[in-house]
Amino acid sequence: VKAEILSIGTELLLGSILNTNARFLSQKLAESGVDVYRQTSVGDNVGRIAEAFAEALRRSDAVVASGGLGPTKDDVTLEGLARFLGRPLAVHQPTWRHIKQRLESRGYKMTSLSGRQCRLPVGAIVFPNPVGTAPALLCETVFEGRKKWIAVFPGPPQELEPLFKPVLTTLLRRANVRPEHFIKRTIRISGLLEIDVARKVPDLLKSRPPLTVGIYAKPGEVELAVMSKHVSRAKALAAADRVEKTVRRRFGADVYGVDNETVASALGALLRKKKSTLSIAESCTGGLASDLLSDVSGSSDYFAGSLVAYSNRIKEDLLGVAEEVLKKHGTVSPQTAWLMAKNVRQVFGTGYGIAITGIAGPSGGSVKKPVGLVYIALSSPRKITVHENRFYGTRAEIKSRAARMALDLLRRALLKNF
Amino acid sequence: VKAEILSIGTELLLGSILNTNARFLSQKLAESGVDVYRQTSVGDNVGRIAEAFAEALRRSDAVVASGGLGPTKDDVTLEGLARFLGRPLAVHQPTWRHIKQRLESRGYKMTSLSGRQCRLPVGAIVFPNPVGTAPALLCETVFEGRKKWIAVFPGPPQELEPLFKPVLTTLLRRANVRPEHFIKRTIRISGLLEIDVARKVPDLLKSRPPLTVGIYAKPGEVELAVMSKHVSRAKALAAADRVEKTVRRRFGADVYGVDNETVASALGALLRKKKSTLSIAESCTGGLASDLLSDVSGSSDYFAGSLVAYSNRIKEDLLGVAEEVLKKHGTVSPQTAWLMAKNVRQVFGTGYGIAITGIAGPSGGSVKKPVGLVYIALSSPRKITVHENRFYGTRAEIKSRAARMALDLLRRALLKNF
C-alpha cells in the first residue's frame, strides 16, 4: 500500500505548532509496511482540503489525514472530505450519543457547536474516540477507477495515537494486505556521545532490511533504534533480541534501558530490588529530579520525598547545612553538596540520598563558577561521593541535564553496590 | 507573495526526525508577511523533487525548500532543482574555495563527495554557509509565463537559520514586495474550555486579514492567536493591542498572560510586586509545581523552596500533619491539604503556601476517591482555602494539570488580595 500523510490546520502553516502527528503517522505506517511517499500540510479551508485529498489519491492508494475535527467553525476537515467524496454529511447517532454522554458526565451541555462533530460523511466507518469527542473515520471510495482509502484522525496527539491501530488494521484488511510484523526496539544509552556510540557498533549501523539499526542523539543520551520486520512475529522478535544482547554486551552499564524505560524507572527498579528508599535535596533543579522520579507509577514505594531548598535559609534550617560552610565555600560547592546529601538521608530517614546544587543561569554565573556548573552528591549508609559537572544550554536545558545526570549517577553507583 | 514550503528528506517520510524546519520557515515567512499555503515533504528522489517544485509553483509565487544538500549521494536536491529549471549543474568556484578552505582548516581533504556540494544550477544566487559547507541558493525563473522564485536551504537547523534572513530579503526585493510588518500575539487563557472561550469572542474569530484571530486548545489552557499585518509596524501593533484589550476586558483574570508568559511567570510577577514569598508542599505532583516555578529566571527572589512529601511519614514528621488526621480523613482529603498548606508556610517562613495532595494514578484510586481527585490548598497570613479538582488523563497529564492549576489558583487569589 502506498500512502500519503495530510495534516490539516492553519496553525501548522503559521508555524504555531510543530507537526508531531506527521512524524508519528509516518513512523507507525513504516512499521506496518506501508510506504509513505509524501507529507502535505494545508490550512483549514474546504476547497484546499478537498483538492489535497484528490491530488494525494491520484498518486497513492491511501491518505492518512489528521486535524480540523474540532467543534468550532474554523475546523472544516469533514466538509472538505465530504466535498471530495461527493457525499453528504449526516448526523451519526452513535457519535451523537457518545459526545452527549461525555459532555454531560463532565457537567456540560450539548450545543450546536459540539453537534458539528457528529455530522459525518455518509458511509464512513466510525471509530469512537476514547479520550475525546471527535471520532476517527475510515472512508472507502472508488477514485479514477481504483479503490482508495481515506483515514481521518483528530488532531490532538493524545486522541490520535490510541485510535491509530484499530483504523490501520481495518484499512489493511480492506486493502487485502498480508500484515508483516514489525518490531521496533529503542536501546537507550547514557553518558556517551553519538560518535563514541557509533564507533562501537559500525557493523550494526550497516545492517540492511529486514533488520536496520539507526542512531539518534537526544539531550543527555543516545538511542539505537532497532527495526526488525518479518511475516513471522517470533522471527522478527528474535532478530531484535539478538541486537539488544550484542549492544548490552558492548556497552554494559551505559545501557540504562529499552523502549519506554527512563533513567528514573531504571533507578526505581534498582531501589525496589534493594528494598531501599531515596530522598533528594534539590537546589538549582528546583524539583525536576523529584518530578522525573514521581513520573514512574508506584514510585511512592521507594521515593520518600525531597526538599527543594531554593534559598540559603532553607538549606540551613531544614537541611542543617552550617552557615559557615555556605559562607566559606558558597552555595554551589562540593562541600555544600556533600552536606546536603549527607543530611537529606537523615532528615527523610531513607537508605540513599541525592543532592544537587548549581547555577542554572542565565544570571548568577561568575568566572570561577560559570553558568552550568553543577555539583551532584550521592549518599548511602556507607559513603558519600561528590561529582562536578559542567552543562551547556538554556536554563531549562541545564536543569534537565543536571536532574537526569543525578538520577543516572545513582543508578550507576547502585550497580556497583554503592 | 504566496509561498509553499518543501522539505526534502526520506528520513522525514520514515518519521525518523521531526520537521522543525517547516515550522521555523513558516513562522519566519508569516512574520515577514509572506502567506504560506502549503507544506510538502518528499523523499530524496530526483524525479519527485522536480515534480514537487513544479506543482508548488503552479499554485504559488515562491517555493522555500530545505534539505538534501549534503555531500553523500543520497542527497539529490540540486539534481532535482536543475531538472525542474532545465539548467545544468556547474562547479561554482567561490563555493569550491569556501568548502576546500573549511575542510582543510579542520584537517580534512577535499574529496569527490564534498565536490558534489559545489555543483550548483547555473544562474543561481549563492549565499555561503557560515557554519557548514552547503550554501543556500535563490533561483529566479519564468514558469508558465510568470516570474517565480525558489530558495533552497541546507537541512541542519543550525545552518538553515542564519541563512534565512539574507535569502528572504533578496527574494522580497527581487519580487518588488514592499515588506509588511507582522505582529503575532498569543493571549493565554486558563480555566476555561475552548468552546467557552469561542462563545465569548465569536466576532473576533470571524476577523479576516490583515487581522486574524485563531483559537487553540492546549492542555489546561486555551490560546487566542492574534495575527496583525500592515506596512506600518505601528498600525499592525495597534491593531493587535486593541484585540488584546478587548479580550482582557471580556475574560478578566482568566487571561493570565501573553506570548512567552506562563502561569508560573505570571504568579511570580505578582509575588514580586507584593514583595512576598512562596513555599509549596507537593504530594501527587512530585515536584512538578516547584519545577515550573523554578523555570522562571530570577524565581529564587520569591520562591523559597518546597517539600515533596511523597510518603505519609514525611507529611507527619516534616510537615506536622497529625497522624490522626491522615488516619481519619486520608492522605487525599481537604483536611490534609488544609494542614499541609497551613504548615508549609510556617516551616519555610514564607508569605504564601500551596499544598497539593491527590491521586495521580494509574493505580491507587477507589470509588470514593478516584484517580484524578486532587485537593489544592492555598494559605496566606490571613486565610486558608481548599479546592477540590477532578482531572482526567494519564499519570503525567494529571500531574501536569494539577501543578498548573495550583499555580493558577494562587495567581487568581493574589489578584483578589487573598
Give yes or no for a contact between A189 and A254, defined as CB atoms under 8 angstroms apart: yes
Q: How confident is the model at residue B121 (pLDDT cuts 50, 70, 90)?
A: very high
Separation of first and last alpha carbons in chain A? 54
The count of other CB atoms within 10 Å of the CB of residue A257 is 17
- Does the pLDDT value for residue B112 go beyond 80? no
- Does the pLDDT value for residue B111 go beyond 80? no
Looking at B106-232, list the stretches that DSSP marks H as alpha helix, in order from N- to C-terminal side: 112-116, 157-174, 194-200, 202-205
Q: How confident is the model at residue B84 (pLDDT cuts 50, 70, 90)?
A: very high
Closest CB to B40: pick one of A38, A349, A395: A38
Please report the pLDDT score of residue B354 as a whole number: 98
Q: How confident is the model at residue A92 (pLDDT cuts 50, 70, 90)?
A: very high
In DSSP terms, A138 is beta-bridged to A125, A151
- Does the pLDDT value for residue A219 go beyond 80? no
State how far the Cα of B389 lies from the Cα of B369, in Å rounded to an integer: 11
**Which of B156 and B334 is assigned the larger pLDDT?**
B334
Provide the chain A residues 162-191 that lie in CB contact (below 8 A) with chain B. Answer: none
Please report the pLDDT score of residue B294 as a whole number: 96
Does the CB of A112 have a partner CB in chain B at under 8 Å?
no
Give yes or no for a contact between B28 and B89, defined as CB atoms under 8 angstroms apart: no
Provide the chain B residues 44-103 that lie in CB contact (below 8 A) with chain A. Answer: 48
Query: Nearest CA to CA, how far is B94 from chain A (Å)?
Result: 31
Please report the pLDDT score of residue B105 as a whole number: 84
**Which range has the top average pLDDT, A218-232, B106-120, B382-396?**
B382-396
Q: Do A70 and B217 touch (CB under 8 A)?
A: yes
Query: Nearest CA to CA, how far is A227 from chain B (Å)?
Result: 12
For CA atoms B299, B305, B309, B315, the dihedral sign is negative
Please report the pLDDT score of residue B213 as a whole number: 92
Please report the pLDDT score of residue A358 as a whole number: 97
Please report the pLDDT score of residue B288 as a whole number: 97
Mean pLDDT of chain B: 93
Please report the pLDDT score of residue A355 as a whole number: 98
Does the CB of A28 have a partner CB in chain B at under 8 Å?
yes
Percent of chain B with pLDDT over 90: 79
- Work out the average pLDDT over B84-100: 94
Indicate the residue type of A349. Answer: G
Please report the pLDDT score of residue B152 as a whole number: 98
State how far the Cα of A74 lies from the Cα of A97, in Å rounded to an integer: 23
- Does the pLDDT value for residue A218 go beyond 80? no
Which has the closest alpha carbon to B135: B113, B162, B117, B112?
Answer: B117
Which has the closest alpha carbon to B7: A390, A43, B17?
Answer: B17
Does the CB of A20 have a partner CB in chain B at under 8 Å?
yes
Does the CB of B256 have a partner CB in chain A at under 8 Å?
no
Please report the pLDDT score of residue B208 as a whole number: 86
State how far the Cα of A248 lies from the Cα of A363, in Å rounded to an integer: 41
Q: How confident is the model at residue B216 (pLDDT cuts 50, 70, 90)?
A: confident
In DSSP terms, B140 is beta-bridged to B149
Q: Could you report the per-residue pLDDT of B187-208, keeping only the tens digit for each?
A: 999 999 888 999 999 999 988 8
- Work out the average pLDDT over A240-245: 97
Q: Are strands B62-66 and B119-121 parallel, antiparallel or unpaired?
A: unpaired
Mean pLDDT of chain A: 93
**Which of B72 and A345 is assigned the larger pLDDT?**
A345
- Work out the average pLDDT over B159-181: 90
Please report the pLDDT score of residue A82 as a whole number: 97
Q: How confident is the model at residue B132 (pLDDT cuts 50, 70, 90)?
A: confident
Please report the pLDDT score of residue A110 as a whole number: 82
Please report the pLDDT score of residue A95 as a whole number: 95
Q: Are strands B255-258 and A255-258 parallel, antiparallel or unpaired?
A: unpaired
Q: Could you report the per-residue pLDDT of A292-321, keeping only the tens digit for each?
A: 999 999 999 999 999 999 888 889 989 999
Does the CB of B24 have a partner CB in chain A at under 8 Å?
yes
Q: Do B30 and A14 touch (CB under 8 A)?
A: yes
Percent of chain A with pLDDT over 70: 100
Please report the pLDDT score of residue A402 as a whole number: 97
What phi and psi values does residue B81 have, to the nearest 5 degrees? -65, -45
Separation of first and last alpha carbons in chain B? 52
Does the CB of B287 have a partner CB in chain A at under 8 Å?
yes
Please report the pLDDT score of residue B116 as a whole number: 87
Q: Could you report the per-residue pLDDT of A26-70, keeping only the tens digit for each?
A: 999 988 889 899 999 999 999 999 999 999 999 999 999 999 999
Q: Do A15 and B37 touch (CB under 8 A)?
A: no
Query: Measured between beta carbons, which residues in chain B are less than 8 angstroms from residue A22?
Result: 12, 15, 19, 41
